[in-house]
Amino acid sequence: MKSKLLCIVISMTIASLNLAFTSLSAQAEARDFFKCKLNDGVKKEEMEKIAADFMAIIRKEGMKGYKTELLWPLYSQDISSGTFYWTSTAPNAAKAAGMEEFWGDSDSNKDVRERFGKIAKCESGSIYLVSNIK
């Protein structure tokens, strides 16, 4: 009897934690950051064109609530020339994961993905929940 009760308590705890995370991720934007570097001789305008083409595909596919930005450091002590951050914002964590999957697996994005691979390489990536402070 005690083991059944323990199983019920554990199951309820896991279910409530799952519900809390689902609720949190459904309400908070999620933003990913990829630290990347342009290959030698590549201009930032080439990467800006790729990002614009990617967003055009996102709109064409009917994926709403996404935004992409490229961050170009004006000054930094710890990164070299040509380094930039590709960041995308999604309506929630689940949709951020879907965006990552779309980037890597979608045939409609194949051209953009291949062009990106020819002009830049990313060394790290991370996804964050966003707390908007007003």
Domains recognised in the chain with CATH numbers:
28-129 (3.30.70.100)
Mean pLDDT of 13-38: 66
pLDDT at 61 (0 to 100)? 92
Alpha carbon of 68 to those of 15, 22, 40, 42, 48: distances in Å? 34, 24, 23, 20, 10
Crossing angle, helix 93-105 and helix 44-60, to 10 degrees?
A: 110
Higher-pLDDT residue of 101, 111: 111
- The answer, yes or no, to whether residue 5 has pLDDT greater than 50, is no
- The answer, yes or no, to whether residue 129 has pLDDT greater than 50, is yes
Average pLDDT of the chain to the nearest whole number: 82
Q: How far is residue 123's CA from residue 34's CA, in Å, rounded to a whole number? A: 7
